[in-house]
Amino acid sequence: MSVSVIGAGAFGTALAVVLAAKGPVTLWGRDVAWRGENPRLPGVVLPNTLRPTDRLDDALAETVLLALPAQVLGGFLAQHGAMLDGRNLISCAKGIDLQTLQGPSALIRGACPDATVAVLTGPSFAADIARGLPTALTLACEDADAAEALQAQLSTGALRLYRSTDVTGAEFGGALKNVIAIAAGAAIGAGYGDSARASVITRGFAEMTRLATALGARPETLTGLSGLGDLVLTSTSEQSRNFRFGLALGHGRDFGAGTTVEGAATARAVAALAPQLGVDLPISQLVAGLAQGHIAMEHALDILLNRPLKEE
Ligand X SMILES: NC(=O)c1ccc[n+]([C@@H]2O[C@H](COP(=O)([O-])OP(=O)(O)OC[C@H]3O[C@@H](n4cnc5c(N)ncnc54)[C@H](O)[C@@H]3O)[C@@H](O)[C@H]2O)c1
Ligand Y SMILES: O=P(O)(O)OC[C@H](O)CO
Q: How far is the CB of 41 from ligand X (least distance, A)?
A: 8
Among 241, 274, 279, 289, binds ligand Y (CB under 6 A): 241
Please select the residue that binds ligand Y; options are 71, 116, 124, 236, rule is CB under 6 A: 124
The binder of 230, among ligand Y, ligand X, none, by C-beta within 5 to 8 A per type, is: ligand Y
Give me the long-range contacts of 39-43 (CB less than 8 A, separation at least 24).
Answer: 40/8, 40/9, 40/10, 40/13, 41/10, 41/13, 41/14, 41/17, 41/126, 41/127, 41/130, 43/127
Taking CB under 6 A as the criterion, the residue among 242, 266, 284, 285 binding ligand Y is 242
CB of 196 to ligand X, least distance (A): 25
Strand order in 25-28's β-sheet? 50-53, 25-28, 3-6, 63-66, 88-91, 116-121, 135-141, 159-164
Let me know if 191 is exposed, middle or buried by CB neighbors in 10 A (0-12, 13-18, 19+): exposed
Nearer to ligand Y, 41 or 84 (CB): 41
SS3 of 301, please? helix
Closest to 129 in 3D by CA, of 16, 260, 2, 1: 16
235 binds ligand Y (CB under 6 A): no
In the bound complex, what is the minimum distance in angstroms from residue 230's beta carbon to ligand Y? Answer: 5
12 binds, among ligand X, ligand Y, none (CB under 5 to 8 A by kind): ligand X
257 known member of a binding site = no
Task: Taking the CA atoms of 63, 69, 73 and 75 in sequence, report the sign of the dihedral they define.
Answer: negative
Residue 166 or 262 with smaller CB distance to ligand X: 262
144 known member of a binding site? no
The residue from 51, 87, 163, 177 that is catalytic is 177
DSSP state of 163: E
Whether 174 has a binding-site annotation, put simply, is no
Whose Cβ is closer to ligand Y: residue 112's or residue 180's? 180
- The reply on whether position 123 binds ligand Y by CB under 6 A is yes
Is 177 an active-site residue? Answer: yes
Residues that bind ligand Y (CB under 6 A): 94, 123-125, 178, 181, 230, 233-234, 240-242, 262
